[in-house]
Chain A
């Protein structure tokens, strides 16, 4: 007999030190199988939890494998349910989600995380990361000119000296520069061979954003702010990007697979990220192993031991294992992670 959805529970959790929040959902079925998913706390955890709970009645009685048709309006809620339903589909099929989706296309997934402070270079390297996002210090004024541009380059040079050749960098501008500053910077750091320049400016004016990659050879990544595949499509059509940057906590597995299908025809890679927890990382790894044009997955690697402990405690398994620059892929059926209810309660928002 096919499984039928019976109920779901959702709750927000918070890391003790970073105060990072994310929302976890558990979808239950009459077959006893449970699917887990995670959504970004956007606009905030309570709103996402409420949006998920609103779906309880709609989903009850439905076939969990029809994941394509579960599309609540709030992106984070949709992403979380998409992961949970794919988790159930995988468990029903007794196969990892990437196998359900036609993978694996790879047996490990290149990993990146963000440098949070001076000491985190060593922590991240020791954890196995070989690609790091280095946040750029925003200029004090708009269009800051040479002193600032050279300052950024000096900082990159210091980083590379400290890290050695085996570590690669993504210069993360966090959408903070003017297009003019971003263009100058992209040109100035060309010879540094960044993996890419991340979200150099806001994407309010796409033509200006596109000009950055027209004026330099530094690869450019955009997409953090996008809420739909139509926005990714605009970036691709304008030749504005070299790397598509969807948030798995907002788009889920299925929507990013569709964005990736679009990007593939532009010969553009997908490097998803998230600002959430270990369930999102697990989902991202299944996504990565289902895509032909995956390049890298960015996930948080908290500096504080207490935060890392929480991430290990709330789920079974070890989805965030990095070795020599790559996440290792889960091999168990579904997403391969289960929530530890007691630990989730302890970290509840």
Chain B
């Protein structure tokens, strides 16, 4: 039986036998019970939607022809002329994500875009396999586009629907520290003071084997020490290990840099094994942050419950959009864990995440993968949207003021950057030829 059958036809099946038959596997869903009659002012069945989804489009956008991370944008059109935009960018897997978005067409077309939680649940639960980066990113893009439509129909920016703003000044953010020498760091510190930037993030140099040499450890520690010395005591510094390190190496590094009082160390090891990360976390006072590869709120439960993390960093383009990012924030709040969402893809996800940040009481700081000086991609974003998206003013991202996600975008604007196809991300290897994490 096709999926369409029990979505649109379940009441007919229920009226007959109360059960949907017709397949050999015996693993089909039971039909829902039939519904009662009507009463004035009260709903007895799904009310006739005042707005319907008419089309779902997925657009691949490559800023350069050989980009390994083309943006995947989702556009949802409605019969009321309102359109919603979302982002489903999954680095290195654009083709798979675009196909996954398209697989959800029949979940949405003809349906009420206002019911975002219902659609989220249906996409996640009825997919059966639930979490995963491709599905998570596809759901994320659709979820953001539905929230954009919802806000536009309801006449409010999304952060107001979520009860914000927590801080009317906007959303505190950080850029990446594109500096490593003493001189570069001194210049960066000066521009930070001038621009009101209060936080930076950096990585650590090189790739790391399972166990590391004294020299390699010294190099990483020196890098982090230089950052602290160069930026001074008043700027917060996060260091992204990017899961390049094993728990053994990460533990040594986290302990070595305790005196630097970093804001956090991010992804000290890969994300699948919570106990391994717990082992690192238990052995150091340096706060641990993780989450950019986690999908749906379910994936954060164990990290919170086991007291592994101090800061969670889900990415709105993978975790399941606004709906899922808000839920992670709600869970984290009960445990006094801070939120510092990841943002390293396009401008739509970036702007969407600001709305959730603005309504999250336990919000700490928002990433944007860029430097104090705008880069080529940000010039393109401004060309698309008409304003300097994801650029801070006095250390804060300004809150969007318009209803929905707060921007206008056209397909024509994107057409200058056609999809150049999917390309794998960087592949790096150790000296002996074995696979290294980057």
Contact = CB atoms under 8 A, between A and B. Distances in A.
B377 interface: no
A328 B156 CA distance: 27
B17 interface: no
Interface in A310-329: 317-318, 321, 323-324, 326, 328-329
B323 interface: yes
A104 B154 contact: no
Contact of A100 (B35, B154, B334, B335): B154
A261 B330 contact: yes
A78 to B, nearest CB: 13
A66 B154 contact: no
A328 B39 contact: yes
Contact of B117 (A67, A105, A262): A105
Given A99-B154, A265-B298, A89 B161 contact: yes
B297 A68 contact: no
A229 interface: yes
Given A68-B359, A103-B118, A262-B331, A331 B43 contact: yes
A188 interface: no
A330 B161 contact: no
B166 A68 contact: yes
Interface stretch (A230-238, A240-248, A341-349): A230-238
B156 A317 contact: no
Nearest to B403: A93
A317 B330 contact: no
A56 to B, nearest CB: 20
A107 B46 contact: yes
Given A65-B156, A237-B305, A258-B330, A329 B163 contact: no
B27 interface: no
Contact of A89 (B46, B160, B334): B160
B43 A108 contact: yes
Interface in A82-123: 89, 92-95, 99-105, 107-108
A262 B327 CA distance: 8
Interface string B273-303: 0000000000000000000000001101100
Contacts of A291: 117
Contacts of A321: 39, 42
Nearest to A317: B41
Given A65-B163, A100-B154, A262-B331, A331 B117 contact: no
A66 B42 contact: no
Interface residues of A, number: 50
Interface string B312-346: 00000000000100110011011100000000000
A324 B36 CA distance: 8
B334 A332 contact: no
Contacts of A69: 163-166, 361
B127 interface: no
Contacts of B298: 264-265
Contacts of B254: none
A230 B334 contact: yes
B47 interface: yes
B118 A105 contact: yes
B14 interface: no
A57 B331 CA distance: 31
Contacts of B253: none
A292 B121 contact: yes
A331 B42 contact: yes
B244 interface: no
Contacts of B160: 63, 65-66, 89
Nearest to A329: B43
A254 B163 contact: yes
A66 B156 contact: no
Instruction: Give the one of B42, B166, B327, B361 with max A CB within 10 A.
Output: B42
A102 B115 contact: yes
Interface string B34-62: 01100101111111000000000000000
B297 A107 contact: no
Nearest to B38: A328
Contacts of A331: 41-43, 47
B116 interface: yes
Interface string B94-133: 0000000000000000000011111011000000000000
Interface in A246-264: 254, 257-259, 261-262, 264
Given A92-B155, A323-B39, A330-B42, A290 B164 contact: no
A69 B359 CA distance: 9
Contacts of B301: 265-266
Contacts of B121: 105, 292
A206 to B, nearest CB: 15
Interface string B1-42: 000000000000000000000000000000000011001011
A107 B41 contact: no
B179 interface: no
A264 B359 CA distance: 20
B150 interface: yes
Nearest to B157: A65
B383 to A, nearest CB: 31
Instruction: Give the one of A89, A102, A108 with max B CB within 10 A.
Output: A102
Contacts of A104: 43, 46-47, 115, 118
Contact of B165 (A66, A89, A92, A292): A66
A194 to B, nearest CB: 21
Contact of A265 (B39, B297, B326, B359): B297
Interface of B: 35-36, 39, 41-47, 114-118, 120-121, 150, 153-156, 160-166, 297-298, 300-301, 305, 323, 326-327, 330-331, 333-335, 359, 361
Shortest beta-carbon contacts, A-B, top 8: A68-B163, A328-B42, A93-B154, A258-B330, A261-B327, A265-B301, A261-B330, A102-B117
18 contacts: A65-B163, A68-B164, A69-B164, A69-B166, A89-B156, A92-B156, A95-B153, A95-B154, A105-B121, A107-B46, A108-B44, A232-B334, A259-B334, A261-B330, A292-B121, A323-B39, A329-B43, A330-B42
Given A69-B361, A318-B41, 11 more contacts: A65-B160, A99-B150, A102-B115, A102-B117, A105-B121, A107-B47, A258-B330, A259-B334, A290-B117, A323-B39, A323-B44
